[in-house]
Amino acid sequence: MLHPPGLNELDNFQHGMLFSFPQLASLYNAHPSFYVFLSVCLLLCFSIYFNVVVTREKFLQGKSYLPALSFLILSSFAPVLNVFSTATIASLILFIAFSKTMQLYQTTNPRKVCFDIGILVAVAALFYFPSILFVFLFLALLLLLRPFSLEENMAYFLGVLTPVYLSLALIYLSGHWYDLHTIVFLNLTPPIKTMALIPLVMLTVVSTSMLVYGLYLVNQAGIKNAISVRKKWNGVVLYLFFASVIGIFSNVFPGVPWILTMAPISIILSQTFLNYKEKYNTFTFYFLITVVILVQWVL
């Protein structure tokens, strides 16, 4: 909040696929610290919901606030991750869709849930186009978590098409149909430049090592988990893969799109605080806090 990133680092954060929100850029330009403060408040609220979902789906052995802690620490690694944007909206919506997908094991009306998931994925893509890649992720999750059902898959694709159809109808009725080629904004920009070299190297090494460490602990505890929980962990890894591919499309690397990776990485990162050796857990916590302080204030 004291040192908000410049607009040049935010990579058109106010542009959605079909709809633009110039008011966000105006507010940020006028009051950047206040804008970041509101963004952080939103992330705090989301972290509570995130914690509830992770606990409910039994990614942890017991109730804990470690997932929320992991999410907040991870989102503090880079200042751009704390700025509310269309990518942030897409990230929140996609995690809600992921939460609904994880409940397919218990639902009595899977077709309705599949339709809702499709709607959420399409709405996320309308806010941030690279999210369209998640259409394939959630199709894979449906096949992973449920026996193949043509009706459920059709309900999912109908859900995906519904927001797209309604958005195009709105554009047509408002008289902008022939301006569609100028309205669409795809956010498909290759990484042209990076943040400062030393912080980038540090964040890359720390994130990769923590991710490998977390996956190792997940694998160690895997035999104790029910089959449904193991499948859900496979879903988290798929979630991370698709989100990481989307993270490449950023003018400044790492940039705004990496907010989509925060949820799956945070689920895995929370496992690094659950080592049976308490000293390792304490070291992990203070190590990550030290990295945040170094990147944000020293380097």
Separation in Å, CA 31 to CA 80, 177, 257: 16, 35, 23
Closest Cα to residue 163, out of 110, 124, 111?
124
Q: Which percentage of the chain shows pLDDT scores above 70? A: 98
Query: Is 144 within a domain?
Result: no
Beta-bridge mates of residue 193: 252
What is the distance, to the nearest Å, from the Cα of residue 53 to the centroid of all Cα atoms in its chain?
14
Query: What mean pLDDT is predicted for residues 271-297?
Result: 85
Query: What mean pLDDT is predicted for residues 277-284?
Result: 82
Query: What mean pLDDT is predicted for residues 141-158?
Result: 91
Return the pLDDT at 222.
Answer: 65
Note the pTM of the prediction, 2 decimals: 0.92
Structure tokens at 185: 């904004």
pLDDT tens-digit map of 110-128: 899 999 999 999 999 999 9
Domain count, the chain: 1
Query: What mean pLDDT is predicted for residues 12-20?
Result: 84
Query: Is 216 within a domain?
Result: yes
228, pLDDT greater than 90: no
Determine the Cα–Cα distance for residues 14 and 43; give it in Å rounded to an integer. Answer: 17
Return the pLDDT at 46.
Answer: 95
Q: What is the DSSP letter of 84?
A: -
Return the pLDDT at 296.
Answer: 80
- HSE-CB at 35 with a 13 A cutoff on CA atoms is 23
Return the pLDDT at 100.
Answer: 93
Mode of pairing for the β-strands spanning 252-253 and 193-194: parallel
Query: Is 93 within a domain?
Result: yes
Determine the Cα–Cα distance for residues 36 and 75; give it in Å rounded to an integer. Answer: 13
- For residue 70, what are the domain limits? 12-110+188-298
Please enumerate, as own/partner, the contacts of 227-231 that have beta carbons within 8 Å and a separation of 24 or more.
228/105, 229/57, 229/58, 229/59, 231/144, 231/145
Q: What is the DSSP letter of 5?
A: P
> In the structure, what pLDDT confidence band is assigned to residue 78 with cuts at 50, 70 and 90?
confident
Most confident by average pLDDT, 65-74, 184-193, 221-230: 65-74
Structure tokens at 194: 């990076």
Determine the Cα–Cα distance for residues 65 and 47; give it in Å rounded to an integer. Answer: 9
Query: Is 119 within a domain?
Result: no
275, pLDDT greater than 80: no
The lowest-confidence range among 70-79, 188-197, 241-250 is 188-197
Does residue 4 contact residue 35 with C-beta atoms inside 8 Å? yes
Query: Is 199 within a domain?
Result: yes
> Per DSSP, which regions of 115-265 are E strands?
193-194, 252-253
- Euclidean distance between the first and final Cα of the chain, in Å? 17
Helix, strand and coil in the chain, % to nearest 5: 75, 0, 25
Query: Is 148 within a domain?
Result: no
CA-based R_g, the chain, Å: 20
